[in-house]
Amino acid sequence: MNETMDAKVSHRGQTSLPAALRRRWGLTDGGVVGVIDLGDAALVVPGGLDAARRELRAVLQDRYEDGLDALDDPDLADQ
């Protein structure tokens, strides 16, 4: 399920996860999320920082493999 939504940040830097995410991620009674600063964006993942790192590694690995598959030169495919 891919949804897009906005969340406000208060003047103190606090924000709330939208209710739809809290329900989907099982955080209705609170919990931990991992946040990784990507420079111009942030990755927010339920389960803490270790879960966020695993998710980022998986996404990067998929993108890397997609890039290798897209190469036209078979001699470069294993580089």
pLDDT band at 4 (very low <50, low <70, confident <90, very high): confident
Q: Number of structural domains, the chain? A: 1
pLDDT of 12 = 95
Domain carrying residue 35: 19-76
pLDDT of 77 = 55
pTM of the model: 0.68
User: pLDDT above 90 covers what percent of the chain?
Assistant: 41
Q: Which tokens go with 63?
A: 């993108």
pLDDT of 71 = 72
Q: Is residue 14 part of a domain?
A: no
Three-state secondary structure of 11-55? CCCCECCCHHHHHHCCCCCCCCEEEEECCCCEEEEECCHHHHHHH
pLDDT digits (tens, 9 = 90+) for 16-25: 898 888 999 9
Q: Is residue 10 part of a domain?
A: no
